[in-house]
Structures are given as C-alpha cells and as structure tokens.
Amino acid sequence: MELKGFVLRSKQIGNRLRHITVFTDKLGKVDFIAKIKRGEFPLKLDLFSLSTFKVVQKGENYELQRALLIRSYFPDTVEKFIYLSKISKLLLPYQLAANQKLFKLIENYFSAGDSFRVAYTMFLLKFTFVEGIFPALTKCVGCGSRQIYSFSIERGGVLCLRCAEKNDIPWSSDLSKLSVNLAKNSFEKMKKEKIPLQKLDKINTVFENHVRFRLS
C-alpha cells in the first residue's frame, strides 16, 4: 500500500531504528518502526516532513518498507518550530481516522510562513470543525438565550448567566464571534486583522480543553 503522510513525531530508538508517528491520507494516524540504512540521511523521516510510505499489513500493524521525501516543512526559525510543534502535540494524543479534510488542513497550515499565533488558533478551531466537535457558540446550550456568560467543557458550548455552573470558564459574545470568524475564514484574510493576543490565548485554552474532553 502506498501512503502519503506528515511526520508528527520522530524518535531514535537504536543505531539505525526510528519510531515515527505519521498522519496519513489512507490510514489516519499510525506508528511505524523505520530502519535507516547505513550512511543514509533520513530527512524523509524527520519531524514535519511530508513523505510517501510503502507499507505492508502484518496482522493489526503495518510494516514500513520504503519512504520517499515529498517536502520538508522543517522550520528555519524558532517561532515556526514552536508553532509546528504545537500542531503536532495537538494531534498526537488521539486516534485519528483517515480524513482528507484533516490531511489538507495539516498541509495548508504547515505551509504558513508568518502570523503563527493566529495560524495556530485557526488550525485548532478548524480541526474541531473537521472532527465534528465544533462547540455551540451562538446561544446558550441550556435554554437558547443569546446572552452569553460562560463556556461549559462538559456540555460542549456556551451558557447564559442563569444556566452557568460553578466549573464553567468565563466567556463572551465577542469571543464567540471571533472564534466563528477564525473558523470560517481563510488564514490570508484573518492574519491581516488586528486580533489581541489575549483573546487568541483565551480561545486556545478553551478549545484545547474542549478537544481533550471530546476526543480522549
């Protein structure tokens, strides 16, 4: 079987053995043990690389026979390394099935060349949409009121003051509107907006917790 995949984790486990975690176009997120030939420089197995993989199924697992680099997205700045690492860390904990929309989303956002704070938040929001877990943001999930007061991780959306509970996270209509705009619009459009970093951080915290609760 021929696959295309993005390397999300790459760990040396021996002199010529490497454990890699890859999000592929046909199998979703999978792990491979890669054998490195003597003298080979395995850029195709490095973090953030897009490569083709020839695999053979052995029982419930897959054996990697060959890999060929398509493109390396390895960053040339610390800022981009942190950004790509955050995307990888977001995806690594979960059993992700093959999903062409998610594959394309990773490809698009690995290619981001600037505005990494905005890019990460947009990837996070779009990831929840692609996975079908985008929360209810426009009206209270308890009573339908549009007077937004807090966000409930357990209930998967916003609540009004009357329906709010003790462990909810403070939230606002402004944050809901910004989240929807970031999820719906293109990166090229939204990176031109002057978005306060505090709002991005708030959205990140809530949505990361939301993803963890829904996918774990």
- Per-residue pLDDT tens for 36-77? 876 666 789 999 999 999 999 888 788 898 999 999 999 999
**Residue 119 tokens, joined:** 């890019």
| Residue 37's CATH number | 2.40.50.140
**Spatial distance between the Cα atoms of 123 and 121, rounded to a whole number of angstroms:** 5
Cβ atoms of 147 and 140 within 8 Å: the answer is: yes
Cα four-point dihedral sign 153, 128, 135, 125:
positive
Query: Per residue in 125-157, pLDDT tens?
Result: 999 999 999 999 999 999 999 999 999 999 999
The answer to whether residue 79 sits within a structural domain is no
Verify that 118 and 207 share a domain, yes or no.
yes
CA 47, 2, 215 angle in degrees (round to 5)? 55
0.85 surpassed by pTM = yes
In a domain, 22, yes or no: yes
**Domain range spanning residue 34?**
2-72
Residues 41 and 118 in one domain: no
Mark whether 152 and 60 lie in a shared domain.
Answer: no
- The number of domains in the chain is 2
Within 8 A by CB and 6+ apart from 85, the residues are none
Q: For tokens 């800022």, what's the residue?
A: 79
Q: 60: phi > 0 → left, psi -120 to 50 → alpha, else beta; which?
A: alpha
Helices (H), the chain: 78-91, 100-110, 116-130, 173-184, 187-190, 197-215
- Residues 206, 118, single domain; the answer is yes
Q: What's residue 41's pLDDT?
A: 64
pLDDT digits (tens, 9 = 90+) for 17-35: 889 999 999 999 999 998 8
